Amino acid sequence: MNDKNTLKGTTTVGITCKDGVVFATERRASMGNLVAHKVAEKIFKIDDHIATTIAGSVGDAQSLMKYIRAEVALYKMRNGEQISIEAASALSANILHSSRFYPFFVQTLIGGVDEDGAKIYSLDPAGGMIKDKFISTGSGSPFAYGVLEDRYTDDIYVEEGVDIAIRAIKSAMERDTYSGNGILIALVTEEGYRMLEEEEVQKRLKEII
């Protein structure tokens, strides 16, 4: 199995809230019409105040996450403070665009909370960097965006954001054959990074059906 051909389709969601950022993904890794893995991890903790999601090649994503984590840790060691979300995103975009590295076949969401509040950016494989209030990537993103456009408002809090993210991923899983096999939810707030337990996600999923 070639990792370059894995995760051809997926759905990821990132939502900024007044008190933090919500990340959500489904768990299916596909290779053509084959469901290659049913427990793919697509959310990564970079630091206590930063997380990312990935859509694309597994091998490239894992390598990229290692580079980003190392650079963020190095920044903290050199400067004695946490890197801002914008700076971490720009750094990640530079890694993607740099000629020192081979092309990374991934689309990444990176976001979190710093002294200026909650932020999220979308990075493309060429290093393009776009900030937005909510973002979805992957083959299921058209279906997820339908929910996000309908339900997102500027004044939501993380608790509301979790429900919207679950609805968005659920919508994608129902219509996109490359998305499925469960939902992962992670939060980044002033208290730090937290991945929701599967039982909590399932409980909330039942409550919103």
Q: Are 53 and 120 in contact (CB under 8 A)?
A: no
* CA proximity to 10, closest of 35, 2, 167, 152: 35
Number of domains in the chain: 1
Q: Are 171 and 187 in contact (CB under 8 A)?
A: no
Q: Is the predicted pLDDT of residue 28 greater than 90, yes or no?
A: no
The token duo for 112 is 């979190």
Q: For residue range 81-119, what is the model confidence (pLDDT) as tens digits?
A: 999 999 999 999 998 888 565 678 889 999 999 999 999
- Domain span including residue 56: 3-208
pLDDT: is 196 or 102 the higher one? 196
What's the rounded Cα separation, in Å, for the pair 62 and 197? Answer: 22
Distance separating the N- and C-terminal Cα atoms of the chain:
37
Which of 6, 10, 16, 53 is labelled catalytic? Answer: 10
pLDDT score at 58: 79
pLDDT: is 137 or 7 the higher one? 137
pLDDT score at 179: 84
Percent of the chain whose predicted confidence (pLDDT) is above 70 = 90
pLDDT: is 36 or 13 the higher one? 13
Is 16 part of the annotated catalytic residue set? Answer: no
* CA proximity to 46, closest of 20, 78, 85: 85
pLDDT score at 100: 61
pLDDT score at 36: 64
Q: Is the predicted pLDDT of residue 178 greater than 90, yes or no?
A: no
Lowest-confidence segment of 6-10, 84-88, 160-164 by average pLDDT: 6-10
User: Residue 81's domain is classified under what CATH number?
Assistant: 3.60.20.10
What's the rounded Cα separation, in Å, for the pair 165 and 144? Answer: 8
pTM for the complete prediction? 0.91
Q: For residue range 37-78, what is the model confidence (pLDDT) as tens digits?
A: 777 889 999 999 999 999 877 788 888 999 999 999 999 999
pLDDT score at 5: 43
Overall average pLDDT of the 15-32 stretch: 89
pLDDT band at 4 (very low <50, low <70, confident <90, very high): very low
pLDDT score at 137: 92
